[in-house]
Amino acid sequence: MRCKLPAVLLTPETLTDFERHLINRGCYSPLTVRNKVSNARSLHATTFTSGLPLDESAAIDAIRETHGPGRRRRTLNTTARDLIAFLRIRHATEVPA
């Protein structure tokens, strides 16, 4: 039986942290960082209004259902993967109160 991973609501704070994470990685140009954050906002507004699933397959399936084939969908898939990786890292490094 496969364990269902939770979904994370994309708040403005989460998107700001995602932007900082991309900048701190140092491997993206400022334009790429802006585009990825813009795509993450778009995903929140169009596909993941109730939360981004941390299960990559479920996230990609949801994008496939809401966006037609082409470059835009591939870009959103890549952004979703980056965002999920960031959220997993952040969750793993958070210290419970």
For residue range 67-82, list pLDDT tens digits in order: 989 999 999 999 999 9
Residue 2 CB-half CA count within 13 A? 6
Given a contact cutoff of 8 angstroms between Cβ atoms, the answer to whether 47 and 73 are in contact is: no
The pLDDT of residue 46 is above 70:
yes
**pTM (predicted TM-score):** 0.84
Task: Convert the pLDDT of each residue in 47-56 to its tens digit.
Answer: 998 899 999 9
Q: Give Cβ neighbours of residue 62 (< 8 Å, ≥ 6 apart).
A: 47, 48, 53
- As a whole number of Å, the CA-based R_g of the chain is 13
Count, residues in the chain: 97
Distance of alpha carbon 7 from alpha carbon 52, whole angstroms: 5
Mean pLDDT over 39-45 rounds to: 95
The pLDDT of residue 20 is above 70:
yes
